[in-house]
Amino acid sequence: GVDSLQRITPSILKQHNKKDDAWSAFYGKVYNITPYIPFHPGGEKELMRVAGRDGTKLFATTHGWVNADFMLDACLVGFLVGESSS
């Protein structure tokens, strides 16, 4: 439930930038995208560009019409917050 979600700073997010441990933020929400990597229609290489960082801009530029919030609901880890808010 929502109570178990974490507040994640950019530096914490940055630690999850590996293929077997990839997190990314879209529109303020942080997702564990690791299980989705093999299923991305745009390929693994493109998706890994946003691993460990805020992917909102790149996502919006490539396919803003895709409902990532719905697709990745089960992969939600928490919310992106400012560096000093942890």
What residues between 12 and 51 interact with ligand HEM by CB under 6 A?
A: 33, 36, 40-42, 46-47, 49-50
Rounded Cα distance, 69 and 12, in Å: 21
Instruction: Check residue 59 for interaction with ligand HEM (CB under 6 A).
Output: yes
Half-sphere exposure of 7 (CA within 13 A, CB side): 6
Q: Which is nearer to ligand HEM, 70 or 82 (CB)?
A: 70
Among residues 9, 34, 54, 58, which is the contact residue for ligand HEM, using CB under 6 A? 58
Q: Report which secondary-structure segment, H or E, holds 17.
A: strand 17-18
Q: Which is nearer to ligand HEM, 12 or 56 (CB)?
A: 56
**Nearest CA-CA partner of 23 in 76, 84, 85:** 76
Positive/negative CA dihedral, 59, 63, 64, 69? negative
Which residues would be at the binding site for ligand HEM (CB under 6 A)?
A: 33, 36, 40-42, 46-47, 49-50, 55, 58-59, 62-63, 66, 68, 71-72
